[in-house]
Amino acid sequence: MEGANWRRWAGYTVASSYELLHDREYHAIRSSAALLDVTPLYKYLVTGKDAARLVDRVIVRDALHARVGQVMYTCWCDSAGKVIDDGTVSRLGDETFRITSADPSLRWFALNAAGLHAKIEDVTESTAALALQGPNARAILQQLTGADLAHLKYFRVVSTTLRDMPVQISRTGYTGDLGYEIWLHAHDALAIWDALIEAGTPYGIVPCGMLGLDMARIEAGLMLLEVDYVSAHRALIEGQKSSPYELNLGWAVDLKKEWFVGKDALALEAARGPAWRFIGIEVDWENLERLYAEVKLPPRLPAQAWRVSVPLYVEGRQVGYATSGCWSPLLKKYIALGHVEAAYGNPGSRLAMEVTVEHRRKQAAATVVPTPFFNPDRKRA
Amino acid sequence: MSRSVVVIGAGTNGLTAAQILATSGRQVIVLDQKQPADVDFDAGWVPPSVRAALNIQPEAEEQGSWLVMPMEGGRFELFADIARSAESIRRLSPRDASRWPEFCTRMRRLAGVLETLYQQNAPDVETTDPGELMHLALLGLRVRGLGRQTVIDLLRILPMPVAELLDEWFESELLKAAVGSTGVMDLCQGPRSAGTAFVMLHHHVGRPAGVFRPLRTSLRSTLSKRTNVEIRHDAAMHLEVAGERIRAVTLESGDTIETDCLVSSADPRRTMLDLLDPGWLDPEFMRAVHNIKMKGVAGTVTLALSCEAPFRQMSLAPSLTHIERAYDDVKYGRPSAQPWLELRNSGQKIEVQVQYLPQVPREGAWDEAGKRSLGNDVARRVVDAAPELKDAITGIRVMTPLDLDAHGGLTGGHRYQGDLTLDQILFMRPVAGWSRYRTPIGGLWLCGSGTHPGGGVAGASGLLAAREILRDAR
Amino acid sequence: MAANRYDAIVIGGGHNGLIAAAYLARAGRKVVVLERRERVGGAAVTEEIFPGFKFSMFSYVVSLLRPEIIRDLRLPEHGLQILPLESTLTPMENGDYFAAWADHDQTRRELLRHSALDAEAYDEYGRLMYHMAHAVKPILGMVPPDPASLRPRDLKGMLAVGNHFRSLGAEQFHAMFKLMTMSSADFLDEWFETDVLKATKSASGIIGTFLGPRSPGTAYVLLHHYMGELDGVFRAWGFQKGGTGGISEAIAASARSLGVAIRCGQTVQKVREKDGRVRGVVLENGDEIDANIVLTSLDPRRSFLELVDRKALPDEFVADISRFKFRGSSGKVNLALGALPDFTCMPGFGPHLRGAMSISPSMDYVERAYDDAKYGEFSKRPYMDIVIPSLIDPGMAPPGKHVMSVFVQYAPYNLNGGWTDAKREAFGDAVIGAIERFAPNIRSCIEHRQVLTPLDIERITGLSEGNIFQGELALHQLFFLRPAPGWARFRTPIRNYYQCGSGTHPGGGIMGASGRLGAMAVLEDHA
């Protein structure tokens, strides 16, 4: 396997793709099933009498009233209301939560826990996580577990066994498709991986690396820390920080909660309106074709998702920047995620994205569109 | 505003704040936290601004010698009168005696700058407010007005080690110890540590030129006799919060007082992290409060006497090196093998401040046996220095930093509610950005010596805090 | 005598002197550098002390050399080549260790072994220090204003300093204030719980000072480790190829190419002055060299109390310089090794040997080392920073053999009873004994050893009291107080006599900033 097919993720080495090309892996997500090792996610277990209180004061959503078995996608902020990280919070019991994050978060939770009766445990090493994503995910997984997956609703988690090994199965994922994430003891990971491959082979299961996942997550409109936004804890200047409202996560901010870190600043911003918006962008195909036609070439499209800052313009003035994008083989569209000044963020707004056509910078016409770009019914059904 | 203001703590600062608030028409309840009677926290200068606000007469300056130290073949004494001290110093070193007057003048001028700073809010150096900027500019001009030498002295001397400063002036070890020891009073540093020259000057405020020991004050007992505030002998156990504002305080007795204005003279850490309902503060603020250095290293041994001691104040440390070595022990969690003792005549007893004692010894513990042996050791040293007291000691009582924490309500056993180091004074006290007595919780205020200007300046924190509260209410 | 007349004379051929000379020559001046020793470099020299074994005799690592100097003087073309120093290994008393590697993930894993919270705090701390270094950088490049002066230039300067700090924002301003005033121990306590991590970090805060990790004022020096990273230099610490002397040689080569005359073996005895104006210098051999401008890169004591007639200076200035503190506190042991040391905590050959080995097993260990020095003894168990340059640059030793450089603290200049040959050897033995506790085979590896006390450093390099920074980096000797209040602007009370050594702002380390700023002061006055 060639070296370029490995990459770093949170201190682990993971496969960019298991095959030399990643497109079969991407297509499996949308057409059959893909199995991904997402173990490098940071995972924390919060337990104790004040566990719900601690989680509630850190995240922007309401954790006090979350039901056991509920999973919440949320972000958390510093006291100025700028996003530090995003991840999922699963209520596993009355006094037990599991939190996943992209950056190490133990210290932040520990600082917040001062005076509270709550214990935070880093279970990143001891807990493995596998994501089974795609239209056939349920059929494959159901063969291996007694849990009733047909009735496991979107963003719910259940404790069960998989071939007699204790696991938790959540109906979540990073692909915007029907899919599950399986949380298990690290020492069972190989056995469960093999079991899933074995049960999934008749259904076309394919191990999938980061390149395939990256395209799927852009189609699903899901942002990525350090790619699409900078953590308030890592930002070197104020201008690099974003609020939840600026990241299109305003829906998650629960200002009715009595207090949480950043609430005061967020209440002000909610009243004032955000300065920036995080948007989906669809590049106008005809226009792109024409730009290439000028140099007598057919449009050249990125084979992989890109992760660089690309200027966005309105009438020649830069109004924002795209942070990741790809050609969607499924939708046959060139799509991207980006930040624009709030005034230009409404769906239907016209703007232009910089493209390099045969070494020369051009501006391709584009439209702001709602995300997700691809949102199949099976995701929630 | 019908509900009462509750003030936690009946020390000089709590009572001062209570008086100012009561005078402006508030109902005030003061919670007397029952400090042990013979721990005297009332050392310090009562600034004129505090006296004026409370309508209190200045206390009479003591006459005669302010410090006695044993020396070869007799005693060395220092007096309020500069010439008289110089005469005394001449026996140690004629060179030092000739430099004494200028030293006293230079130090007095610097203490004067501190006195100005201590009677007003800490300068807000990051402000963009024109009023504050003007205030800063005036302050700057005023200091410049004192001359080039004072400006350079301020910048150069404040961050110096007191030992180095005194080495520049004097050669007598005894004299340097007499003056320099106040640079480490109640501080977990030795005289060779940077910033101790500032601490020496801090303890010089309010004193005449040539007197380098803080004054005693009866401010607390004077104020506690006033009847315009209600004093309750009960302790705050829990501060309730609703909607980011203070709501009520629960007392040790089980009572609850509802209030929307609570002024705490307890130390910032106890107030914000122990008493306050958890879960309301920003993590960075909590971290800052948690990080306030309060390393209490001074204990008190009280010797009951059958007669009165023949001196007002005596210091037992032959040199600053002696004190530095005493400090070395506490760095590794040991009580000083050869401590620095500061004796104060208190009528029929002597209060001895003992430095340095760890709050928790790394080996052993402050159990009865440990305290007894400390008490006996101190008594022996006192008798060695003042043989006339040989048969006069009738009782020994020991308070370690741990006792001050457990019974005196002082986190870390620190008398000043936070070390007076350069990173914890002025706009950095109690924590950076919160020097104006307020807290992130609406209606909760700090007024103890953990706030600007800090311990050793009696009533100033209370006065400045009360003024902020009143300004806020307008 | 045209041959003995120059536009400017630079006294001292250390890196600052050479840099000042090069900048002046670059501006078209005819300059001569007078160096007392037979070679240039001052404390940055490479010497073949034992046949086949070359040592960076004093200064041994580099990170702080200002990038604008590297660019302006085209030093890479003249031989500057920095080889990265990748890791730091700290052996602990209990047989464990702490290691920091070039690979961030590897360091994080190592930290996780000690404390999960510290692993996270480490990154946040690193970011804060990055910010702080960024905030300090403009101050390092600034000519300090005189806060007691009412001249418009100084008022403007003070305002610029004030505005600079105010522009940082509250959080960073407060962090800066803390860094300037706290002890490294207290500052690190706010961040970390792992003792050995704090000990290793704080050790970098005491290098060259007569202070312990618990002494206020040491936190500031922690910044130095982060300074280099600002200029986009990844893995900023390193060795000069061929030893630190190579840096001096590169600067000298650059200076010569710009027309500077460099005369070695020429000891300046006096700076000639008439009517408050400098006229030239007199050499020990009686020769006189004329120039209307003289720059001294020597330390303030030599520059003002030895080279100049005190009567030419104001009393107050003489008093200020007399009390300027030197108190050298570090020694150096250079070892020629026949084999590599074997560390108990990480046995055998490995990448750790290519990095630094820090003998700072605990906070108490380093503090105790200081306690000894405080009362006039060398540390019985000293803090040491050890490197083996021959593993990175094989030319430094015969094939299969190695050179080991041991920076040792504390060794007070004013040793009780004074330094003698016997004391020097006892000091060397203490150093070897302290290494032996962590690398038991060290004694059998040693073929030759050179022990340098602060007194030796003073004798060889001329640095007063062997202070490697030409004066302590204490709060009251920094910025506008360095070397004396009112005289921090590189000028002196004698007209056209300038300072350009590290006894001026910003001081210490092979930074070169003082040399450059000194030359700038000359060019500003003599445009």
Given an 8 Å threshold on Cβ–Cβ distance, is A115 in contact with B279? yes
Q: Which of A57, A77, A109 should we substitute to test contact with B (largest number of B Cβ atoms within 10 Å)?
A: A57
In this prediction, residue A4 carries a pLDDT of: 57
Q: Which of C183, C210, C377, C473 should we substitute to test contact with B (largest number of B Cβ atoms within 10 Å)?
A: C183
What's the mean pLDDT when you consider all of chain B? Answer: 92
Q: In whole angstroms, what is the distance from residue A242 CA to residue A252 CA?
A: 15
Three-state SS string over A13-40 comes to EEECCCCCCCHHHHHHHHHCEEEEECCC
In this prediction, residue B171 carries a pLDDT of: 97
Q: In whole angstroms, what is the distance from residue A96 CA to residue A118 CA?
A: 10
Given an 8 Å threshold on Cβ–Cβ distance, is C108 in contact with A233? no
In this prediction, residue C234 carries a pLDDT of: 44
CB C201 within 8 A of CB C186: no
Q: What is the mean pLDDT of residues C504-514?
A: 82
Does C168 lie at the interface with A, CB-CB under 8 angstroms?
A: no
Given an 8 Å threshold on Cβ–Cβ distance, is B421 in contact with C216? yes
CB A45 within 8 A of CB A96: yes
Of the candidates B244, B287, B290, the beta carbon closest to that of A259 is on B244
Q: Looking at this predicted complex, what is its ipTM?
A: 0.93
Residues of B in contact with C186 (CB under 8 A): 293, 423
Whether residue C38 has pLDDT greater than 60: yes
Taking the CA of residue B274 and the nearest CA in chain C, the distance in Å comes to 19
In this prediction, residue B396 carries a pLDDT of: 96
Whether residue C190 has pLDDT greater than 70: yes
Whether residue C154 has pLDDT greater than 60: yes
Given an 8 Å threshold on Cβ–Cβ distance, is B278 in contact with A116? yes
What's the mean pLDDT when you consider all of chain A? Answer: 96
Q: How many C-alpha atoms does B452 have within 13 Å on its Cβ side?
A: 29
Taking the CA of residue B158 and the nearest CA in chain C, the distance in Å comes to 8
Looking at per-residue pLDDT, the higher value among C168 and A330 belongs to A330
Whether residue B211 has pLDDT greater than 80: yes
* Helices vs strands, H then E, count in chain A: 8, 19
Q: What is the mean pLDDT of residues C484-497?
A: 94
Given an 8 Å threshold on Cβ–Cβ distance, is C121 in contact with A107? yes
Residues of C in contact with A8 (CB under 8 A): 105
In this prediction, residue B36 carries a pLDDT of: 52
* Helices vs strands, H then E, count in chain B: 16, 15
In this prediction, residue B366 carries a pLDDT of: 92
Does A122 lie at the interface with C, CB-CB under 8 angstroms?
A: yes
Q: What is the mean pLDDT of residues B354-371?
A: 93
Q: Chain B: residue nearest C186 by CA?
A: B293
At residue C116 the predicted structure's pLDDT band, cuts being 50, 70 and 90, is very high
Given an 8 Å threshold on Cβ–Cβ distance, is A79 in contact with B284? yes
Looking at per-residue pLDDT, the higher value among C60 and C396 belongs to C396
Whether residue C247 has pLDDT greater than 50: yes
Q: What is the mean pLDDT of residues B462-467?
A: 97
In this prediction, residue B73 carries a pLDDT of: 85
Looking at per-residue pLDDT, the higher value among C16 and B43 belongs to C16
Does A156 lie at the interface with C, CB-CB under 8 angstroms?
A: no
At residue B142 the predicted structure's pLDDT band, cuts being 50, 70 and 90, is confident
Q: Which residues does B295 contact at the CB level (< 8 Å), separation at least 6?
A: B188, B359, B412, B414, B419
At residue C525 the predicted structure's pLDDT band, cuts being 50, 70 and 90, is very high
Q: What is the mean pLDDT of residues B358-381?
A: 94
Given an 8 Å threshold on Cβ–Cβ distance, is B421 in contact with C182? yes
Q: Nearest Cα to A246, choosing from A91, A80, A363, A119?
A: A80
Three-state SS string over C96-129 comes to CEEEECCCHHHHHHHHHHHCHHHHHHHHHHHHHH
At residue C149 the predicted structure's pLDDT band, cuts being 50, 70 and 90, is confident
**Token output for C330:** 């570090």
Given an 8 Å threshold on Cβ–Cβ distance, is C485 in contact with B156? yes
Of chain C, the percentage scoring pLDDT greater than 90 comes to: 77
Of the candidates A53, A115, A264, the beta carbon closest to that of B273 is on A115
Whether residue C232 has pLDDT greater than 60: no
Q: What is the mean pLDDT of residues C462-479?
A: 91
Whether residue A213 has pLDDT greater than 90: yes
Backbone torsions φ then ψ of A167, nearest 5 degrees: -145, 165
Length of chain C, in residues = 527
Q: Is B125 exposed, middle or buried (0-12, 13-18, 19+ CB in 10 A)?
A: middle
Residues of A in contact with C124 (CB under 8 A): 107, 233
Whether residue C2 has pLDDT greater than 70: no
Taking the CA of residue C365 and the nearest CA in chain A, the distance in Å comes to 28
Q: In whole angstroms, what is the distance from residue A94 CA to residue A48 CA?
A: 9
pLDDT digits (tens, 9 = 90+) for A321-379: 999 999 999 999 999 999 999 999 999 999 999 999 999 999 999 999 999 999 999 99
Q: What is the mean pLDDT of residues A130-138?
A: 98
Selected residues 199-238 of chain C with any CB under 8 Å from a CB in chain B? 211, 214-217
Q: Nearest Cα to A36, choosing from A201, A162, A207?
A: A207
Of chain A, the percentage scoring pLDDT greater than 90 comes to: 97
Taking one residue from A and the other from B, the number of pairs with CB-CB distance under 8 angstroms is 37
In this prediction, residue B28 carries a pLDDT of: 97
Of the candidates C108, C121, C127, the beta carbon closest to that of A11 is on C108
Beginning with the edge strand found earlier in the chain, give each strand of the sheet holding A33-37 in spatial order.
A157-162, A165-170, A179-185, A127-133, A33-37, A205-207
In this prediction, residue B145 carries a pLDDT of: 87
At residue B1 the predicted structure's pLDDT band, cuts being 50, 70 and 90, is very low
**Token output for B440:** 């992130």
pLDDT digits (tens, 9 = 90+) for C313-339: 999 999 999 999 999 999 999 999 999
Of the candidates C177, C368, C474, the beta carbon closest to that of B423 is on C177
Does B435 lie at the interface with C, CB-CB under 8 angstroms?
A: no
Q: Which residues does C356 contact at the CB level (< 8 Å), separation at least 6?
A: C61, C85, C87, C88, C89, C237, C385, C386, C387
pLDDT digits (tens, 9 = 90+) for A180-193: 999 999 999 999 99
Given an 8 Å threshold on Cβ–Cβ distance, is B156 in contact with C476? yes
Residues of A in contact with C109 (CB under 8 A): 11
Q: What is the mean pLDDT of residues C161-168?
A: 84
List, as one string, the DSSP characters of A101-131.
ESS--HHHHHHHTTTS--EEEE-TTTEEEEE
Given an 8 Å threshold on Cβ–Cβ distance, is A53 in contact with B279? yes
In this prediction, residue C228 carries a pLDDT of: 61
Q: Which amino acid is at B381?
A: R
Does B195 lie at the interface with C, CB-CB under 8 angstroms?
A: yes
Q: Give kind and range of the element (H or E) at residue C292.
A: strand C288-296
What's the mean pLDDT when you consider all of chain C? Answer: 93
At residue C235 the predicted structure's pLDDT band, cuts being 50, 70 and 90, is very low
Looking at per-residue pLDDT, the higher value among A221 and C220 belongs to A221
Given an 8 Å threshold on Cβ–Cβ distance, is C174 in contact with B291? no
In this prediction, residue C510 carries a pLDDT of: 65
Taking the CA of residue C185 and the nearest CA in chain A, the distance in Å comes to 21
Looking at per-residue pLDDT, the higher value among C158 and B84 belongs to B84
In this prediction, residue B143 carries a pLDDT of: 85
Q: Which of A95-109, B300-314, C365-379 has the lowest mean pLDDT?
A: B300-314
Residues of C in contact with A102 (CB under 8 A): none
Q: Nearest Cα to C235, choosing from C130, C82, C84?
A: C84
Q: Chain A: residue nearest B289 by CA?
A: A114
Q: In whole angstroms, what is the distance from residue C77 CA to residue C80 CA?
A: 7
Given an 8 Å threshold on Cβ–Cβ distance, is B125 in contact with C186? no
CB C56 within 8 A of CB C389: yes
Angle (nearest 5°) at CA C115 between C112 and C121: 90
In this prediction, residue C389 carries a pLDDT of: 96
Looking at per-residue pLDDT, the higher value among B33 and B372 belongs to B372
Taking the CA of residue A116 and the nearest CA in chain B, the distance in Å comes to 6
Given an 8 Å threshold on Cβ–Cβ distance, is C216 in contact with B144? no
Q: What is the mean pLDDT of residues B48-64?
A: 88
In this prediction, residue B141 carries a pLDDT of: 84
Taking the CA of residue A275 and the nearest CA in chain C, the distance in Å comes to 21
Does C163 lie at the interface with B, CB-CB under 8 angstroms?
A: no
Residues of B in contact with C170 (CB under 8 A): 126, 432-433
Whether residue C292 has pLDDT greater than 70: yes
In this prediction, residue B140 carries a pLDDT of: 84
Residues of A in contact with B278 (CB under 8 A): 50, 114-116
At residue C205 the predicted structure's pLDDT band, cuts being 50, 70 and 90, is confident
Of the candidates C147, C173, C368, the beta carbon closest to that of B155 is on C147
